[in-house]
Structure 1
Amino acid sequence: MPKLILRCNYLKNAPPSHLENFVTYIGTRDGVEKAVSTTAHLPSTANQKELIQDILVKIPDARQMHEYYDYLQRPTRENASEFIIQALENHLDIIAKKKNYVDYLAHRPGVEKTGTHGLFSNEGEPIVLSRVAEEVANHKGVVWTNVISLRREDAQRLGYDSAVQWQALLRSRVELLCENYKIDSRNLKWYAAFHNESHHPHVHLVLYSMKASEGYLTKKGIDTMRSTYAHDIFRQEFMSIYEKKTQQREQLKEQADRSLLFLLQQMQQGICHNEKIMEQMQLLSKRLNNTGGKKVYGYLKADVKAIVNNIVDELEKEERVASCYRAWLESSNEILCYYKDTMPEPLPMSGQKELKSIKNMVIREAVRFGQGYLCTEEEGFSELETRWEEGEAHTEWQETTSKKDSNEYITFEMPDDAAALELDERDISDAVYNTAVYNFFKK
């Protein structure tokens, strides 16, 4: 169950009649009232169970609520009542009139009021509740209604158990609404209210464009908002996870490099156990030999990229590489678990944008392989490369390196009056490497 839940609904024109009837139905039967403390921990009643089933049939996405998860874990009267009440409240936007909905958000029990009501918007913007309710009720376009919910323990620990923190968050992310709802900032109107519920504190957000024809929301937009709010709220925890993920990525890159170099050494000795990689590396080496320009992944033709991808995916099957990749994926999913219900199917290693450097490592080694720079029994490439980076040859170049911008290219002024080359900062070209090897073996 994610730590943060963002539910996005919208309302337009008159509400459906069958949902209006449903409000009357559920408002007059048992189970709506909160259980008293003396019976809170008893099993849920038959009436509550029946009502919960009705809610799930008529409001399917109520299954995604924190309260429903709590009820499944402990089906007590208290948890049943909490789910029933919050499920109805979260869907008042589609089962009640718009004017009544805004008034309810501002006055309901548990709302944290600033003055006579609990609505807030941009800093310094005065809010007259009756006027806002009329605006929303008479709006001819779409009105979106969001609910952002946290668990009580997380809200208290992170300071989101008061309206002040929510006000700061939502006011700092107005542009996020404009971008994902495709609404011009000059036309955006939004109002929010914080409800300090005992189990799951949450904020209701109502927004629309003053231009009735403007605005729409996609699934990608919802995912973006979930991710952004989660990164803001759980910032410190995410920093720790990202640090771990970065370390695991570096370990994965190093292991992929070692495994490929080991296979290349086996190829040299005629005992390579991975024939697919052997064939693909030979093919890639030939193709790169006939390829002009920069030999980095982004510059290659589609068919050559496909060869690189095949090699990377074969490397993923190597036991140690697979272990490192699984660890990196687990950290990636650990982040997603904060705001997603289900995890996406894992991509092959070649499909991960964050691991593009592994592709460029494969290209680099294929170029070396084609030029005859093979691993020897006495010294593998990893050791050679380390000595090159730490040795005098590297120092000599480092002193003559001119760097433009961190996101641009860097120019190496090579020794022996060789022509300078423009290189990607993350990918040392074969020409620079070959000169380094030449100087290394001269010593």
Structure 2
Amino acid sequence: MSAVFYKQWFKPVNETRTPNKNAEHIRYIGTRPGAIKNEGEKHGLFGNLYDSDTLEVKHKIKDVMNIVKKKSEEGKNIFRSVISFSPENAAIKVGEPITKEAWQELIKQQIRIIAEGNNIKMSDFKWVAAAHNTPSHPHVHIVFWDERQEIRKNWVNPKVPDKIRGKLVKNIFEDELKEYYEKRDEKKYLLRDITNEMTGEFEAYLDKMSKREYSTLTDAEFFSDKPDSQFCKYLAQRLFEIRKEIPKGSLKFEYLKPDVKDKLISLVRE
């Protein structure tokens, strides 16, 4: 499962019912069961609608619905998006129990990624959100638009939300990613050191051996029985078939094509 789930979409701008649907979506995210409500309010909306210095939305939900409906009627794309975590990751990144303030702080830190991913200047980026404390997948809905948008969009490249999700993962789990890569690289280098050490010892061992001892080693210890001639012929045939697929030049394994590497690995294991 992904560390962060992100998706975004919008209703067709040219449909007559879209403004009303966008307004109703605000009611849905702000008041549905599980929405973390604002103190003294019947909704849980927060965002950058009125004053960029605070994320508080103290207006009635109908006021926010009217703003979204009006912007939609002007031909602006009203994007709907969701950021979601597994319960385990939510506990790490948003806290346990999850609070509205924790969600606000996280979205405040990451909202620029969504704006930049959609090529919207922060000065023109307006958004409203509501967090839902759903046990199986705690999430936050974010509705946003470009205040200065003049050309209607009928399609957005699917790569846009994918890139946004990737950047959200890097930002939100920055410390965990660093720790993971450090541990992974440490193991990689440790394995390489052990291999080099073992290889060095083995080579030193061979250097001290006489030809007779070396012959005995290869005949007795490596092959308890004489290798089957038919099997050797089969392996040689396999090897030369693979050789035909390797361009002239360096035969270093790291430079080979992935499919050729797979064939060689399979042959070595066999």
TM-score by length of 2: 0.61
Number of residue-to-residue matches in the alignment: 206
CA distance in 2, matches of 1:217, 1:239: 32
Larger helix proportion of the pair? 1
Q: Could you give the per-residue CA deviations for residues 191-232 of structure 1, whole angstroms, max 9, x where no partner exists? A: 111011122111000000112326774323211211122233
Q: Secondary structure at the match of 1:121?
A: strand
CA distance in 1, matches of 2:191, 2:19: 52
CA distance in 2, matches of 1:245, 1:132: 48
Distance 1:110 1:14, change over 3 A: farther
Look up the match of 1:159.
94
Q: Could you give the per-residue CA deviations for residues 47-93 of structure 1, whole angstroms, max 9, x where no partner exists? A: xxxxxxxxxxxxxxxxxxxxxxxxxxxxxxxxxxxxxxxxxxxxxxx
Aligned equivalent of 2:82, options 147, 154, 167: 147
Distance 1:152 1:134, change over 3 A: same
Distance 1:136 1:254, change over 3 A: farther
Look up the match of 1:170.
107
Q: Partner letter of residue 242 of structure 1?
A: Y
**Post-superposition shift, 1:143?**
0.6
Q: Secondary structure at the match of 1:198?
A: coil
Distance 1:16 1:241, change over 3 A: farther
Q: Secondary structure at the match of 1:112?
A: coil
Q: Could you give the per-residue CA deviations for residues 410-433 of structure 1, whole angstroms, max 9, x where no partner exists? A: xxxxxxxxxxxxxxxxxxxxxxxx
CA distance in 1, matches of 2:67, 2:125: 13
Look up the match of 2:167.
228
1:7 aligns with 2:7: yes
Distance 1:191 1:149, change over 3 A: same
Distance 1:166 1:217, change over 3 A: farther
Distance 1:279 1:254, change over 3 A: farther
Look up the match of 2:142.
205
Residues 19 and 69 in structure 2, CA contact (< 8 A), matched pair in contact too = no
Residues 19 and 70 in structure 2, CA contact (< 8 A), matched pair in contact too = no
CA distance in 2, matches of 1:188, 1:159: 24
Name structure 1 gaps, 5 residues minimum.
18-93, 258-272, 283-307, 324-443
CA distance in 2, matches of 1:163, 1:318: 51
CA distance in 1, matches of 2:190, 2:111: 39
Distance 1:135 1:239, change over 3 A: same
CA distance in 1, matches of 2:15, 2:27: 17
**Post-superposition shift, 1:10?**
0.7
Look up the match of 1:121.
47
CA distance in 2, matches of 1:314, 1:13: 47
Look up the match of 1:218.
157
Residues 94 and 103 in structure 2, CA contact (< 8 A), matched pair in contact too = no
1:131 aligns with 2:63: yes
Percent identical residues? 24
Q: Partner letter of residue 179 of structure 1?
A: E
CA distance in 2, matches of 1:236, 1:5: 18
Deviates more, 1:242-251 or 1:137-146: 242-251
1:184 aligns with 2:121: yes
Look up the match of 1:379.
none
Look up the match of 1:46.
none
Q: Partner letter of residue 110 of structure 2?
A: R
Q: Partner letter of residue 90 of structure 2?
A: A
**Post-superposition shift, 1:247?**
4.0
Aligned equivalent of 2:26, options 91, 102, 110: 102
Residues 55 and 104 in structure 2, CA contact (< 8 A), matched pair in contact too = no
Distance 1:318 1:254, change over 3 A: farther
Q: Secondary structure at the match of 1:206?
A: strand
**Post-superposition shift, 1:106?**
1.5
RMSD: 4.1
Q: Secondary structure at the match of 2:84?
A: strand
Look up the match of 2:232.
none
Distance 1:251 1:318, change over 3 A: farther
Identify which of structures 1 and 2 has the higher relative contact order when contacts are C-alpha pairs closer than 8 Å and 6+ apart. Answer: 2
Name structure 2 gaps, 5 residues minimum.
197-238
CA distance in 2, matches of 1:222, 1:251: 38
Distance 1:312 1:98, change over 3 A: same
Distance 1:238 1:279, change over 3 A: same
Look up the match of 1:313.
256
Q: How does 1:28-107 map to 2 (within 5 A)?
A: 97-107=21-31
Q: Partner letter of residue 229 of structure 1?
A: L
